[in-house]
């Protein structure tokens, strides 16, 4: 436990926030610090074929120690953190033997993590929790996954009596801005299938995710002096408000759950003359996903007709698709992971992701890649936390998956 938490804290303290406005890969220079650290640590622990490319993708091999003809499998995590919340000067706090009450993260700013607001805290009474200090995110998404993979590889190297086939590991930048798999070299990785260690609560096993699109809405207005604005001014911010109001009010993240999709307005820039709206559009069902995109475009047409001119311009781009269609023909991948969880005392919770992972894109690139829990909660904000035992179990699942793959193919 001590070694696991030391590694996690060390990684969490490195600012690796990605930037969607950047056109480089990685999108921020600071991601290189952790990428280079992982590259060196993999070499130092005895992994083979350790590489880091010009875009900070890190890969390495744990050679097979069995004569059985076992498929090459992989484990993947991203090391960037969300652009939506600061990751500068992360200070992880430890709360041992959690008593089920409210946790004061920052007394000065009165920031409290309470089970009244986050009921999942009740699941972890008696455990050690790691939280933020209330001023940054924690970065368990996905430095917990990175930590668990690194820990599992080190454990397998130290315990050669545990038989496993060839295992590939990969760490990448920019997952949080939807680009984590864009430059991932699937052929070089060379695995038959892989798992992203990027899920949330302990037990999660996911092979369904949203179909996803991103949309930028640019709205033009006409600015004149407000004293002489009668029938001349067009306030682009009010036009934007009209656009927002026409989208289905009940199809937003805060009013949807499970398989329900949504339109999510996640950023606004506005003046009288020019307003930009940034949306993400999500649905698990491909037909409903296409319908949502059509609704979005139709909304722009409606507003333009109301104003009698083309004020609203939409740029829309598909981001990723539901990996279910690529995993279902390979359900042995899920069966192995499910059994691994049961064998180490974790109750599997097979569910759909209300989001996406690199695994979705990688699955469509020829590498079937479902998602296993990393253990964290409340990602992308100051109330993020992770129970230490959840990280330990995730590491155990990785080791057990390696063992079960040998057993299945021996």
pLDDT in tens, 159-196: 999 999 999 999 999 999 989 999 999 999 999 999 99
Domain termination site, one of 256, 287, 320: 320
Looking at the structure, do residues 21 and 116 belong to the same domain, yes or no?
Answer: yes
Domain hosting 332: range is: 2-209+322-409
28, 77, 224, 339 from 21: Cα distances, Å? 10, 22, 31, 42
Residue 343 maps to which CATH number? 3.40.630.10
What's the chain's average pLDDT? 96
Largest CA distance in the chain: 84
Looking at the structure, do residues 200 and 231 belong to the same domain, yes or no?
Answer: no
Q: Is pLDDT of 356 > 90?
A: no
Looking at the structure, do residues 199 and 262 belong to the same domain, yes or no?
Answer: no
Q: Is pLDDT of 410 > 90?
A: no
Give the pairing type, strands 73-78 and 167-172.
parallel
Residue 270 maps to which CATH number? 3.30.70.360
Q: Is pLDDT of 54 > 80?
A: yes
Global pTM value: 0.88
User: Given this model, what pLDDT does residue 208 score?
Assistant: 95
Looking at the structure, do residues 96 and 204 belong to the same domain, yes or no?
Answer: yes
Domain termination site, one of 320, 340, 365: 320
Looking at the structure, do residues 87 and 168 belong to the same domain, yes or no?
Answer: yes
Looking at the structure, do residues 188 and 169 belong to the same domain, yes or no?
Answer: yes
Looking at the structure, do residues 400 and 361 belong to the same domain, yes or no?
Answer: yes
Determine contact, residues 268/345, Cβ cutoff 8 Å: no
Beta bridge partners of 95: 129
Looking at the structure, do residues 112 and 7 belong to the same domain, yes or no?
Answer: yes
Looking at the structure, do residues 264 and 124 belong to the same domain, yes or no?
Answer: no
Average confidence (pLDDT) over 333-346: 98
Domain termination site, one of 285, 320, 355: 320
Q: Is pLDDT of 397 > 90?
A: yes
Query: 267-283, pLDDT tens digit by residue?
Result: 999 999 999 999 999 99
Alpha helices (H) in 72-192, listed in sequence order: 140-158, 186-189
Q: Is pLDDT of 131 > 90?
A: yes
Q: Is pLDDT of 357 > 80?
A: no
Phi, psi of 59 (to 5 degrees): -135, 155
Catalytic residue numbers? 80, 175
Average confidence (pLDDT) over 108-120: 96
DSSP three-state, residue 225: coil
Separation between Cα atoms, residue 304 and residue 307, nearest integer Å: 5
26, 77, 150, 173 from 180: Cα distances, Å? 9, 9, 19, 6
149-153, 169-173, 360-364: segment of lowest average pLDDT: 360-364
Q: Is the peptide bond before 186 cis (omega within 30 degrees of 0)?
A: no
Looking at the structure, do residues 221 and 205 belong to the same domain, yes or no?
Answer: no
Looking at the structure, do residues 154 and 285 belong to the same domain, yes or no?
Answer: no
Contacts of 23 (CB under 8 A, 6+ apart): none
Q: Give me the number of domains the chain comprises.
A: 2
Shortest CA distance to 192 belongs to which of 168, 164, 157, 171? 168
Looking at the structure, do residues 247 and 226 belong to the same domain, yes or no?
Answer: yes
Separation between Cα atoms, residue 278 and residue 267, nearest integer Å: 5
């Amino acid at each position: 436990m001590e070694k696991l938490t030391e590694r996690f804290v060390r990684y969490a303290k490195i600012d690796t926030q990605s930037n969607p406005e950047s056109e480089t890969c990685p999108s921020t220079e600071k991601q290189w610090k952790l990428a280079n650290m992982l590259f060196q640590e993999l070499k130092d622990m005895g992994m083979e074929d350790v590489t880091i490319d010009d875009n900070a993708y890190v890969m390495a091999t744990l050679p097979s120690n069995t004569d059985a003809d076992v498929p090459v499998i992989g484990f993947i995590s991203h090391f960037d953190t969300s652009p939506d919340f600061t990751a500068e000067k992360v200070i992880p706090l430890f709360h041992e033997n959690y008593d089920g009450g409210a946790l004061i993260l920052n007394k000065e700013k009165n920031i409290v993590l309470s089970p009244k607001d986050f009921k999942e805290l009740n699941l972890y009474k008696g455990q050690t929790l790691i939280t933020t200090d209330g001023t940054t995110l924690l970065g368990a998404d996905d430095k917990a996954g990175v930590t668990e993979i690194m820990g599992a590889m080190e454990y397998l190297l130290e315990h050669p009596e545990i038989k496993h086939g060839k295992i590939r590991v990969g760490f990448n930048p920019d997952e949080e801005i939807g680009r984590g798999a864009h430059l991932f070299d699937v052929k070089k990785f060379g695995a038959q299938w892989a798992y992203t260690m990027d899920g949330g609560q302990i037990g999660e096993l996911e092979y369904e995710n949203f179909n996803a699109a991103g949309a930028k809405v640019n709205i033009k207005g006409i600015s004149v002096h407000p004293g002489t604005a009668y029938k001349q001014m067009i306030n682009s911010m009010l036009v934007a408000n009209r656009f927002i109001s026409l989208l289905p009010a009940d199809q937003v993240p805060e009013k949807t759950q499970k398989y329900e999709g949504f339109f999510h307005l996640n950023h606004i820039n506005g003046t009288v003359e020019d307003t930009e709206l940034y949306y993400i559009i999500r649905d698990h069902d491909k037909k409903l996903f296409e319908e949502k995109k059509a609704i979005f475009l139709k909304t722009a047409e409606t507003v333009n007709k109301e104003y009698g001119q083309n004020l609203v311009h939409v740029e829309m781009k598909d981001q990723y698709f539901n990996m279910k269609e690529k995993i279902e023909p390979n359900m042995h991948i899920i069966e192995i992971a499910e059994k691994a969880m049961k064998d180490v005392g974790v109750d599997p919770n097979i569910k759909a992701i209300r989001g996406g992972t690199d695994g979705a894109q990688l699955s469509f690139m020829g590498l079937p890649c479902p998602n296993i829990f990393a253990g964290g909660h409340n990602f992308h904000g100051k109330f993020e936390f992770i129970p230490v035992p959840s990280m330990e179990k995730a590491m155990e699942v990785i080791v057990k998956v390696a063992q079960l793959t040998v057993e299945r193919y021996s």
